[in-house]
Amino acid sequence: MQRGLSAELAFPERKRLMDLSLKNPNAMRFYKVCTLILFIAAWQSIDLINSELKFYNPLLIPSPFDIVKKASALWSTGALQKHILASVTRVALGVLMAFPPAVVLGIGIARSRTVEVIFEPLIELIRPIPPLAVLPMFILWFGIGELSKLVFIGFAAFYIIMTTVMLSAANIDVVLIRAARTLGINGWRFYTEIVFPAISPDLFVGVRLGLSAGFVVIVASEFIAADVGLGYMINYARAYFRVSDMFVGAFTIGIIGYSVNMVLVVVERRLFNWRINDER
Amino acid sequence: MEKAPKLRFDRVNMVFGRPNQPPVQVLKSISFDVGEGEFVCLLGPSGCGKSTILNIAAGLIEPSAGTVTASSRIVAGPGRDRGVVFQEYALFPWLTVRENVVLGAKSGTGKVDRVKVDHFLKVTGMYEHRDKYPKELSGGMKQRAAIARTLANDPEIILMDEPFGALDPYTREALQDQLVEIWSASRKTVLFVTHSVEEAAYLAGAVILLKAHPGELKAVIKNDVAWPRERASEELIGIERAIRRAERT
Ligand SMILES: Nc1ncnc2c1ncn2[C@@H]1O[C@H](COP(=O)(O)OP(=O)(O)O)[C@@H](O)[C@H]1O
Ligand SMILES: [Mg+2]
């Protein structure tokens, strides 16, 4: 690993035992955890005060403690895991479905006038349509089973991945393209050995954003037609006025989305070390 | 019978059309020959069309009029017979130095001659840096890697666009000497673009002098000083003086 120059490296005697300033990334991370805990603690104490003063209905807003208790109860019966697995699988498969056409069309539109003239008008016309607007049609076409949800998530992820790929492929450094052409790299080799690696860091970001979009829209499709999944769990809990369940469902989605993103960011740094710049 | 030149420009014109502006004529009736194994420098002020000439020779852009012939074939696009070394190095950042050179060494069938790759890494002094990524290299190292990649592609003609223009004078002289060594060992045909009179006088067997607006051939100065040449020697200063005199007229 390369490291940027820092005052600590240049003047080790200056280094204090512990740097508690906001410039120290480790201290920064610690503070972020602290502020989060502080917010949760504040929420808990408001709940505590409310149990005395009753200034809002505690049934509508459970305390963090209630939510954790509910989550562990749902976990111990295996229900929570079942819903998580269902939703995560749908998002993963939906994004996987969107991936090949998004990459092919994104690269195609950016690098071939023929592909651009055929597909771009249609794609751009459909783009502004919110995925939710077409969900009822998808249900009519693909039934209320898994397929309609996968197509729906795929639809949402497709535009995000395709747009990232298109912008990236259109902005490949022209001198690299010229170098490839003068080295005799043509046809299929040009796409697999030059274009694909050149866009791969952006493609990775596109997939990350596509997954986030998948988690955003999954819930809607599970509201409408599903018998398992976090969206279903939330909607079902609403029918029975189980507010804690709803909170568990919502926070679970938040935690999953955050974790997936964090893992991918780490993978990204590893995979695309060749382009990471330490200066910023 | 006279031997056919390796590279021939025959009355090449280049006019760039621009949106909402009148077209500009960048090159006007450019004709010159580069013989096999020759080292020719294109010298001229910035903006006179040197890169345009090189890109036309490489087949990257099409001239508005006139023809370019390389190895007795009309140039109609890029080809492996003409290698290019760009001022911006143009290394593929996702590949290590070695992988960049391997890409250059791949023949049409995708086969790679490992001995050849190592040979060119050693020739350019990049062997010990072969596993580094471009971002880990200095400008001089990047350009040496790019030269190794072009050599591994085994072109008959090497086109170089101000390859040392962005380097400090020490690195620049070291790379000039390295290039001369490679050239005299391989006897490839080289067309080298520069805006430095000293560089042209030191390297070239012939200097093609251009003037700007539109880019036109101004003079061709022969340089028959024998190798090895010595920088700032009387003879080379004489050549520089001849170039500068031709520039003024
Ligand atoms: N694609 C282009 N469109 C319009 N003008 C161009 C284009 N490429 C180069 N030019 C113009 O042609 C002239 C010569 O450019 P160039 O060949 O890059 O010069 P040099 O390499 O000698 O500095 C410049 O005035 C430049 O602005
Ligand atoms: Mg130039």
Q: Tell me the one-letter amino acid at A98.
A: A
Q: What is the least distance, in Å, from the CA of A183 to any CA of chain B? A: 6
DSSP 8-state class, residue A14 = G
Q: Tell if the CB–CB gap between A200 and B94 is shorter than 8 Å.
A: yes
pLDDT of residue B214 exceeding 80: yes
| CB pair distance less than 8 Å for B103 and A273 | no
Do the chains contact at A182 and B82, CB–CB below 8 Å?
yes
Contact A182 B92 (CB under 8 A): no
Among all bound ligands, the one having the nearest atom to the CA of B55 is 1
- Structural domain count of chain B: 1
Partner-chain contact B90 A176, CB within 8 Å: yes
pLDDT score for A181? 93
Q: How many CB atoms lie within 10 A of CB B64?
A: 16
pLDDT score of B43: 94
Kindly state whether residue B98 falls inside one of the protein's structural domains. no
Q: List the structure tokens of A95.
A: 């994004």
By Cβ distance, the residue of B94, B104, B135 closest to A183 is B104
User: Does B120 contact A at CB distance below 8 Å?
Assistant: no
pLDDT 10s digits, B106-164? 866 667 888 889 999 998 889 999 999 999 999 889 999 999 999 888 899 999 999 99
Single out the residue of B174, B232, B237 nearest to residue B223, CA to CA.
B237
Q: Among partner residues B58, B59, B94, which is closest to A197 by beta-carbon distance? A: B94
Query: Tokens 């599970």 appear where?
Result: A222
Which of B163, B228, B220, B182 has the alpha carbon at shortest distance from B202? B228
Q: Rounded to the nearest 5°, which phi and psi values hold at A27?
A: -60, -40
Residue nearest to atom 25 of ligand 1 (CA): B47
Domain membership of residue B24 (yes or no) is: yes
Looking at residue A220, its pLDDT comes to: 87
A142 within 8 A of A148, measured Cβ to Cβ: yes
In a domain, B223, yes or no: yes
Indicate if the pLDDT at residue B87 is higher than 70.
yes
Where chain A has pLDDT below 50, the residues are: 1-2, 280
Map chain B to HEC letters. CCCCCCEEEEEEEEEEEECCEEEEEEEEEEEEEECCCCEEEEECCCCCCHHHHHHHHHCCCCCCEEEEEECCEECCCCCCCEEEECCCCCCCCCCCHHHHHHHHHCCCCCCCCHHHHHHHHHHCCCHHHCCCCHHHCCHHHHHHHHHHHHHHCCCCEEEEECCCCCCCHHHHHHHHHHHHHHHHHHCCEEEEEECCHHHHHHHCCEEEEEECCCEEEEEEEECCCCCCCCCCCHHHHHHHHHHHHHHHC
Asked if residue B18 belongs to a domain, the reply is yes
**Based on C-alpha coordinates, what's the Rg of chain B?**
18
**ipTM of this complex prediction, to 2 decimal places:** 0.90
Whether B209 maps to a domain, the answer reads yes
* Structural domain harbouring B12: 1-81+156-163+189-248
Which residues in chain A touch residue B90, judged by CB atoms under 8 angstroms apart? 173, 175-176, 178-179
Atom of ligand 1 nearest to the CA of B161: 21
Which residues have C-beta atoms less than 6 Å from ligand 1?
A: B 16, 18, 24, 26, 44, 46-52
Q: Taking chain A, what is the end-to-end CA distance rounded to the nearest angstrom?
A: 17
User: Does residue B207 sit within a domain?
Assistant: yes
Q: What is the pLDDT of residue B155?
A: 92
Give the Cα-Cα-Cα angle A164, A167, A169 (nearest 5 degrees): 100
- In the sheet that holds B82-85, the strands lie side by side as B82-85, B157-161, B189-194, B39-43, B206-211, B216-222
Mean pLDDT on B176-198: 92
Averaged pLDDT of chain B = 90
What is the enclosing helix (H) or strand (E) of A268?
A: helix A243-271
Closest in B60, B133, B149 to A181, CB measured: B60
Closest residue in B to A175 (Cα) is B90
- CATH number reported for the structural domain that contains residue B240 in this entry: 3.40.50.300
pLDDT above 80: residue B10: yes
**pLDDT value of residue A8:** 57
* Coil/strand/helix, residue A257: helix
Q: Model's pTM, two decimal places?
A: 0.83
On whether residue B169 sits in a domain, the answer given is: no
Q: Is B214 on the interface with A (CB under 8 A)?
A: no
Residue B34, beta-bridge partner list: B7
Please tell me which residue of chain A has the smallest CA distance to B102. A183
Which pLDDT score, from 0 to 100, does residue A55 have?
85
| 3-state SS track over A108-174 | HHHHCHHHHHHHHHHHHHHCCCCHHHHHHHHHHHHCCCHHHHHHHHHHHHHHHHHHHHHHHHHCCCH
**Within a 10 A sphere around the Cβ of A185, how many other Cβ atoms?**
23
pLDDT at B1 over 80: no
DSSP code for A13: G
pLDDT value at B61 more than 50: yes
Instruction: Indicate whether B194 belongs to any domain.
Output: yes
Q: Which residues pair with B13 in a beta bridge?
A: B65
On whether the CB atoms of residues A214 and A94 are closer than 8 A, the answer is yes
